[in-house]
Structure 1
Amino acid sequence: MKNTIQTIIVNRKKEVAFIMQEAEKKYLKWYQKIAYGAGDMASNTSYGLVSSFVLLYLSDTMGLNTGIIGTLMLVSKFLDGISDVIFGNLIDRTKSKLGKARPWMLYAQIGVSLCLVLLFSIPGGMSETAQYAYFFAFYTALNAIFYTANGIAYSALSALITRNKNERVQLGSIRFMFAVATNIVMGFAVTGVVDAFGGGAAGWRMVAVICGVIGLGINTISCLCVKELPEEGSAAVEDTQKPKDDKIGFVESLKLLISNKYYILIVAIYIVYYFMSNLTTGSAIYFMKHVLGNGSLLGLFSMMKMFPVIIALIFTPILVKKTGSMQKVNFWGYVISDILGIFLIIFAMQKNLPMMLLFMFLKGTFAGTMSGTLNALIAEISGYTYRTKGVHIDGMMFSCSSLGVKVGGGIGTAAVGWLLHAAGYAGKAATQTVAATNMIFSMYITIPVILGVVITILLGLMKVEKENKRIDMERAEQAD
C-alpha cells in the first residue's frame, strides 16, 4: 500500500513537472507559424465565398426564392452539426505517419474545392425544384463532410503542434490575420472578377474555380510545413490508472464533452459569434446596394470592418502575456466594443459614412482580440478535460469550432434569406420596399450590436485558464 502511494506521488510530480516544462518550451519556427496561419487563407477562399456571396448568386443570378434557400441552408447546417462530433472522434482515433489531424486536413480540401465549383455551377436548364435539390446536395456535401473534416483537423493542429500557450495564441492571431486579409481582398475583388469573366452564371463559376485552386494549393503547403508532437505526457509519465485515448468510445467521449461546462460555453460563443458574423456578411452587399445605394462600397466596409482585427491580433499575444489571461483581454475588449456599437447605430441611421467607418474600425479593434485566442481557449478547455479526466479528446474538443461555424454561421446565413423574404425583398426588382430596406439595416447594423452584448456575457463566464492554474497549483502542493 505504502509503495503504491509513493508511486502515485512520484508519477504526479513527474506529470506536474512535465506539464510546466512543456508549457514554457518553444516548438515552432517562424515559417511554421506563418505556414499554419496561411491555412485560414485556404479556408476563407472557399467558406468566405459561400458565406458572403452564395445567396446573392442564387437570388440575383439564378432567380431562386431566398426564403426556400434559407430553409434548405438551415436543414443542411443541422446535418452539418451532427457530422462535427463524428469527424472529431475519427480524428482522435486516427494513427498515421502524418499524425492524427494532418491527413484529414490534407485530403478533405480536395472535396472542398470540387464541391465549391459545383455549387456555383447550377445548370440553368434544370427545373426550379431540381435546382434547389442540386444546391442542397452540394452545399451539404461541402459543409457537412469535406469542410467539416478539414476545419476540425486544422483547428486541432494548434494543440497538436505546440504545447506552449503563447505559441498557440500566436498561431490564432496569425491565422485570423490571414482570414481577415483574405476576406478583405474578396470583398473588393469578387464582384469585379465575376464581371471580368462576363458576369452571370459563367462569371460566378470562374470565380469558384479560381478560389478552389488557390485553396487547394495553400492548404497543402500549410499542412506539410508543420509536424504533430507525441501525445502529452507520453514521454514523461506512465500512469496505468488513466484510460488510453484510443479506448474511449464515441459515446463516452461525447459525455466528457457535455460534462465540461467550458466546452458548452465555447460552443455557445462560437454559435453566437458566427451567427452574428454570417448575418452581417450575408446582408452586407444588400446593405450597400439598397440602404447606401452603392454596391461598390462593399470592399471599403469589409476592409474597415476586418482590417482593425489585424491590428488587434498584432497586439493580442502581448496583451495576453502581460495580463496572463485571454479571458480578461477578450471580455473588456467586448465591453468597449458594445459601447461603441451604440454610436455606430446612431451614425448609420444618419447615413454618416465617415463616422460609420470610423466606429466600425474602432469596434473591430477592441473586439478583434477574441479571434486570435479562440483556438488557444479550446486548447485550454481540452487541457481541463485532461487534468480532470485524464483523457485526450482534442479532435472532438476542437469540433466546437466547426460546430459553431456551421450551426451559428448556417443559421445566420439562413436568417438573411428568411428575413429578406419576410420583408418582401425581390431579387430582380430595381428598387426595394421600405420594409425590405429597414430589415436589411437591422441585419447589418442593429442585431449584431445586440449579439455583441450576448458574447460579452458568455466571455465573462469563461474562466477555464484560472481553473487550470488552480488545479496545477493544487497538484504541485500535493506532490510536495
Structure 2
Amino acid sequence: MRGAEKKYLKWHQKVAYGAGDLASNTSYGLVSSFVLLYLSDTMGLNTGIIGTLMLLSKVLDGISDVIFGNLIDRTKSKLGKARPWMLYAQIGVSLCLIFLFSIPGGLSTTAQYVYFFAFYTTLNAVFYTANGIAYAALSALITRNKNERVQLGSIRFMFAVVTNIVMGFSVTMGVQAFGGGASGWRVVAIICAVIGLVVNTISCLCVKELPEEESTIQEAKSQDDKISFVQSLKLLVSNKYYVLIVGIYIVYYFMSNLTTGSAIYFMENIMGDGALLGMFSMMKMFPVIIALIFTPILVKKTRSMQKVNFWGYFISDILGIFLIYFSIQKNLSMMLLFMFLKGVFAGTLTGTLNALIAEISGYTFRTKGARIDGMMFSCSSLGVKVGGGIGTAAVGWLLEAGGYVGTAAVQTDGAISMIFNMYITLPVILGVVITVLLAFMKVEKENQKIDMKRERE
C-alpha cells in the first residue's frame, strides 16, 4: 500500500492544474449562462427552436465523447496521452466561442439558426469535448495518490466557482460597457476566448504525465493500445459504477444548467432586478469553495467519498424545502441564506467527481485487467454536455411553453410561474435524485475488498 502514500505533485502544479477550470469556464460558463439570452433578447430568435437545435447538437456531442476518449487512450507523444489534446483543442474552443457570439445580423432568420447550430455543435462536440476529456483524464495520469486526486478536484472546482461568480457579476456589465447589443457580446466573447487560451496553455504545460508503467495498481502495465474501440465500450457499460457516475453527471449538470440558464430571467422577471444575478451567483457558488476546502479533510477522516457526498446532499435536500418556502415569500435575505447553506453541504460532490472516476477506472482495471482512462473519463464530458445541453435546451423549451416573449415589456403569469419553477423548484427535486444515486456509489469499498483479497492471496 506504499504506492497510495507516495506524493507526486507540488503545490504549484496542483494550482496550475486547477486553473484549467478557469479556462474551461470562460467558454462553457459564457455559453451555458448567456447564449440563450444573447439569442433571444439580442438576436430575437425563438427560444423553443433554439432549445430543439441544442438537443439535436447534443446527439452528435454524446457520440463524440467516447470517440475522443478512445483516441486519447491511443495517443503517444512527447507530451503524453492527454496533454496534446488539452493544449491544441483549446484553440478551436476559443475561435468557435468568438464566432458563436458573432452571428451576422444581415443573415436571414433561418440562416442565423443554421449558423448558430454549426458553431455551437463544433464548439461542443469537437473542441470542447477533446479539451474537456483530456483535462479530466489528466488527473489520473499525473498522480496515483488518492488524496492528491481529491485535492486536484477541489482546487479545479474552486477555480470553476470563482470564475462563474466573476462572470455572473461582469458579463452583462461588460456587454453594456462595450456598447451593448451584438457588438458588446462579441467583445466579451473575444476577451473570454483569449483568457481561456492563455490560462489553458499554462495549466497544460505546468504538469507532466507519469511514465506509462506507473499504473493505478503497481502490478501490471497499461494495455490501452491493445484494446479495440468495441472492447472498450463493452468494458464501460459492464462497469455498473460507470453507468452510475454517468447518471450522476447528467442529472447534476442538467440541474446546474437549468438554474444557470434561467437565473437571469428569474432576476429580471421575478426579483425585478437583473443586477441581483451576481449576488445570487456568489451565494450559490461561494459556499462551494468553503465545502471544497474541507472536502479532502472529510474524505481522509471518513475514508469514504461516498459517505461525505451522500450525507451532504441529504442535508442539502432538506434545506431545499426551506428555500422553496422563502422564495415564494420573496424574502431575499432568507433566500440567500438557505442558498448558501445548501451550497456548503452539496459542494463536496464537485471536489470528488474526478477522484470517483479514477476509482471507477481502477475498478475496471482490478476486475477486467484493462486500463481505459481516456474513455472512462469521457463520462465527465458526456455528462457535462448531455446533461448540461439538455438543461440549457430545457430552459428554451420551458420558456416557450410558459409563453415567454423576449421582446415583451411584461411577461404573462404562466411565464413567471415557469421561470420560478425552473430556478427554484426543479433543482430541489433533481437534488433528491442525485442523493438516491449517491447511495449506490460504493466503488471505494469494492476496490478495498478486491485489494485486501489479493493481499491475502
Q: TM-score range by the shorter chain?
A: over 0.9
How big is the shift at 1:247?
Answer: 1.0
Say whether 1:120 aligns with 2:114.
no
- Cα separation, partners in 2 of 1:25 and 1:438, compared to 1, 3 Å: same
Structure 2 matches for 1:358-397, cutoff 5 A? 358-397=337-376
Query: How far, CA to CA, are the matches of 2:429 and 2:444 in structure 1?
Result: 27
How big is the shift at 1:231?
Answer: 2.5
Q: 2:133 aligns with which of 130, 137, 152?
A: 152
* TM norm structure 2: 0.99
Structure 2 matches for 1:143-182, cutoff 5 A? 143-182=124-163
- Any conservation in 1 of the 2:178–2:184 contact (CA below 8 Å)? yes
Q: 1:134 aligns with which of 115, 129, 133?
A: 115
How big is the shift at 1:244?
Answer: 2.4
Query: Aligned with 2:190: secondary structure?
Result: helix
- Any conservation in 1 of the 2:213–2:222 contact (CA below 8 Å)? no
- Cα separation, partners in 2 of 1:237 and 1:437, compared to 1, 3 Å: closer
Equivalent residue number for residue 415 of structure 1? 394
Structure 2 matches for 1:205-244, cutoff 5 A? 205-233=186-214, 244=223
* TM norm structure 1: 0.94
Say whether 1:90 aligns with 2:71.
yes
Structure 2: give runs of 5+ residues left out of the alignment: none
Query: How far, CA to CA, are the matches of 2:11 and 2:213 in structure 1?
Result: 23
Query: How far, CA to CA, are the matches of 1:254 and 1:237 in structure 2?
Result: 24
How big is the shift at 1:238?
Answer: 7.0
How big is the shift at 1:22?
Answer: 1.9
Q: 2:265 aligns with which of 281, 286, 289?
A: 286
Instruction: Flag the structure with larger Rg.
Output: 1
Query: How far, CA to CA, are the matches of 1:243 and 1:149 in structure 2?
Result: 21
Query: How far, CA to CA, are the matches of 1:44 and 1:289 in structure 2?
Result: 24
1:328-366 CA-partner distances (Å, limit 9, x unpaired): 000000000000000000000000000000000000000
Query: How far, CA to CA, are the matches of 1:127 and 1:431 in structure 2?
Result: 27
- Paired residue type of 1:428: T
- Any conservation in 1 of the 2:212–2:222 contact (CA below 8 Å)? no
- Any conservation in 1 of the 2:283–2:336 contact (CA below 8 Å)? yes
- Paired residue type of 1:439: M
- Paired residue type of 2:198: G
1:205-255 CA-partner distances (Å, limit 9, x unpaired): 00000000000000000000000002255699676xx88220100000000
- Cα separation, partners in 2 of 1:235 and 1:80, compared to 1, 3 Å: closer
- Cα separation, partners in 2 of 1:199 and 1:260, compared to 1, 3 Å: same
Query: How far, CA to CA, are the matches of 1:176 and 1:335 in structure 2?
Result: 21
User: What value does the CA root-mean-square deviation take over the aligned residues?
Assistant: 1.2
Query: Aligned with 1:163: secondary structure?
Result: coil
Equivalent residue number for residue 3 of structure 2? 22
Query: How far, CA to CA, are the matches of 2:231 and 2:444 in structure 1?
Result: 25
Equivalent residue number for residue 68 of structure 1? 49
Structure 1: give runs of 5+ residues left out of the alignment: 1-19
- Any conservation in 1 of the 2:216–2:362 contact (CA below 8 Å)? no
Structure 2 matches for 1:307-346, cutoff 5 A? 307-346=286-325
Moved over 6 A (4+): 234-238
Equivalent residue number for residue 332 of structure 2? 353
1:76-135 CA-partner distances (Å, limit 9, x unpaired): 011100000000000000000000000000000000000000000000000000000000
- Cα separation, partners in 2 of 1:310 and 1:237, compared to 1, 3 Å: closer
Query: How far, CA to CA, are the matches of 2:204 and 2:217 in structure 1?
Result: 28
How big is the shift at 1:23?
Answer: 1.2
Q: 1:425 aligns with which of 404, 429, 454?
A: 404
Say whether 1:52 aligns with 2:47.
no
Query: How far, CA to CA, are the matches of 1:151 and 1:416 in structure 2?
Result: 24
Say whether 1:255 aligns with 2:262.
no
Equivalent residue number for residue 452 of structure 2? 473
Say whether 1:452 aligns with 2:437.
no
1:259-296 CA-partner distances (Å, limit 9, x unpaired): 00000000000000000000000000000000111100
Q: Aligned pair count?
A: 457
- Paired residue type of 2:295: T
- Cα separation, partners in 2 of 1:284 and 1:237, compared to 1, 3 Å: closer
Percent same amino acid at aligned positions? Answer: 83
1:405-463 CA-partner distances (Å, limit 9, x unpaired): 00000000000000000111000111100000000000000000000000000000000
Query: How far, CA to CA, are the matches of 1:235 and 1:257 in structure 2?
Result: 17
Say whether 1:32 aligns with 2:16.
no
- Cα separation, partners in 2 of 1:162 and 1:392, compared to 1, 3 Å: same
Equivalent residue number for residue 188 of structure 1? 169
Query: Aligned with 1:461: secondary structure?
Result: coil
Query: Aligned with 1:122: secondary structure?
Result: coil
Query: How far, CA to CA, are the matches of 1:305 and 1:68 in structure 2?
Result: 30
Q: 2:380 aligns with which of 401, 415, 421?
A: 401
Query: How far, CA to CA, are the matches of 1:64 and 1:343 in structure 2?
Result: 36
- Any conservation in 1 of the 2:142–2:210 contact (CA below 8 Å)? yes
Query: How far, CA to CA, are the matches of 1:426 and 1:279 in structure 2?
Result: 18
- Cα separation, partners in 2 of 1:237 and 1:55, compared to 1, 3 Å: closer
Query: How far, CA to CA, are the matches of 2:355 and 2:218 in structure 1?
Result: 24
